[in-house]
Chain A
């Protein structure tokens, strides 16, 4: 089975510019997650979708970050305007949602964002 796909793999922008990341989860996975991983740290959850609805966006900086999953499959994460501290790897993960406790989350390769 194909894994989680993400694009682009790398992106360099200047501060105050906007950027968007795309994620295609594993086929049949109802739950999709976006994480931010700052260099030297573990991933931190930004937003979690269940199908096309938001389950948890408590750690998403909503003044500049937005995410959508309109048809319950692919998702986009946008940053506008970007700040220097947004430099990080943005990881997408998905899980089946048969059992939120036991479901394994599978991660994509991530998008490395550098803000200059």
Chain B
């Protein structure tokens, strides 16, 4: 699986958009970008994923650059409840071989703190 690089921490004002960057310059053509978050002492929560097109759901938007070497998770209107560690994960795709069966490899993530 490709390695990801995220800033260790970020701050955001409540009500503003939070833009969390992720670099994955060694991503392969069949690898997906996944975003999860973990609020203190809870299990990780799935946010969104994509291959090469931008994606949007009720929680967030995912913007993937054309060369796929980086992406940005956007929380359009951050709230205090969005304070969490955010993980960007690049995941092996189907047909890549091995028996990973969709293993998720979590790095250190970005600690997002939303301020009042």
Q: Do A and B bind each other?
A: no
B residues near A (Cβ < 8 Å) are none
- A interface residues with partner B (beta carbon < 8 Å): none
